[in-house]
């Protein structure tokens, strides 16, 4: 019996040391901690964290959050309300990032990840921040429309990942007009055949490259 209790205690302690996700910034900010914001796609806006698309299947927001968790950073993944204005939401994200910086968190320890509509929000946030040290990950969001929006300029370090079977492709055109503001740019294409739905579930083909990229400069 004592052995069983000891094992249970060890499991509870082990689980307590694993990084967790939050929908909001923690009240106490640790300037030595890295912070990662994940913005989901448009289909998740509303009350359902696992909505179903007739072509691409279930968008598993909870599973994505779980797989993005990592002990090296604090994950903030907010479930946006229906019909969220991307520019208004991006301004709030920018305010959160600036708040972290004001409290001593180095800009290089802050990263924003966004897929589809969330990627568009991430791009807008980058444009608002105008900080060349913050990290941005755009997943399948560099549409021709974004490329033509001259009022949205990418700043900082950018990782782009897109699916080759998807209609949304490379971020090259978006970056081409931001050459003076993009500190570094790396792009990866994946080929799952799942079109836009490749990012509806946490596939290793895009989750693992993100985690590797986020850890490229720990100091």
Residue 219 lies in a domain: no
Inter-CA distances, 140 with 44, 60, 95, 171, 200, Å: 16, 17, 25, 9, 11
Domain count, the chain: 1
Question: Going by DSSP bridges, is the β-strand pair 57-58/52-53 parallel, antiparallel, or unpaired?
Answer: antiparallel
Residue 3 lies in a domain: no
**What pTM, to 2 d.p., does this model score?**
0.89
Higher pLDDT, 98 or 24: 98
Report the C-alpha gap between 138 and 116 in whole angstroms.
8
Inter-CA distances, 183 with 32, 123, 142, 148, Å: 23, 14, 18, 21
Report the C-alpha gap between 121 and 10 in whole angstroms.
41
Residue-range definition of the domain harbouring residue 141: 20-214
Local confidence band at 175 (pLDDT 50, 70, 90 cut-offs): very high
pLDDT tens per residue, range 22-34: 788 888 999 999 9
Residue 7 lies in a domain: no
The pLDDT of residue 219 is 53
The pLDDT of residue 91 is 98
Report the C-alpha gap between 219 and 157 in whole angstroms.
16
The pLDDT of residue 25 is 87
**212 token code pair:** 């590797």
> Across residues 57-79, what is the average pLDDT?
97
Taking each helix axis as running N to C, give the angle between helix 117-129 and helix 86-102, from 0 to 180 degrees, rounded to the nearest 10.
50
Phi and psi at residue 86, to the nearest 5°: -60, -35
pLDDT tens per residue, range 117-164: 999 999 999 999 999 999 999 999 998 888 888 889 999 999 999 999
**For the ranges 12-16, 105-109, 123-127, 186-190, which has the lowest average pLDDT?**
12-16
Residue 171: CATH number of its domain: 3.40.50.1820
Residue 155 lies in a domain: yes
Judge whether residue 12 has pLDDT over 50: no
| Spatial contact of 62 and 50, defined as CB atoms under 8 Å apart | yes
Residue 8 lies in a domain: no
């Amino acid at each position: 019996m004592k052995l069983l209790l000891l094992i249970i205690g060890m499991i509870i302690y082990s689980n307590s040391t694993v990084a967790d996700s939050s929908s909001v910034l923690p009240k106490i900010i640790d300037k030595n901690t890295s912070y990662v914001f994940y913005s989901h796609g448009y289909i998740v806006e509303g009350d359902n964290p696992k909505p179903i698309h007739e072509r691409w299947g279930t968008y598993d927001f909870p599973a994505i959050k779980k797989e993005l968790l990592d002990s090296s950073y604090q994950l903030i993944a907010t479930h946006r309300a229906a019909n969220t204005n991307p520019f208004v939401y991006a301004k709030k994200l920018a305010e959160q990032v600036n708040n972290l910086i004001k409290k001593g968190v180095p800009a290089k320890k802050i990263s924003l990840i966004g897929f589809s509509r969330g990627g568009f929000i991430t791009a807008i946030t980058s444009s608002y921040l105008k900080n060349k040290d913050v990290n941005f990950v755009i997943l399948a969001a560099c549409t021709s429309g974004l490329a033509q929006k001259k009022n949205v300029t990418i700043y900082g370090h950018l990782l782009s990942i897109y699916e080759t079977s998807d209609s949304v492709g490379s971020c090259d055109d978006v970056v081409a007009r931001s050459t003076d503001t993009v500190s570094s740019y790396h792009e990866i294409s994946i080929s799952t055949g799942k079109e836009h739905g490749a990012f509806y579930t946490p596939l290793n083909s895009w989750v693992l490259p993100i985690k590797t990229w986020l850890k490229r400069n720990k100091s």
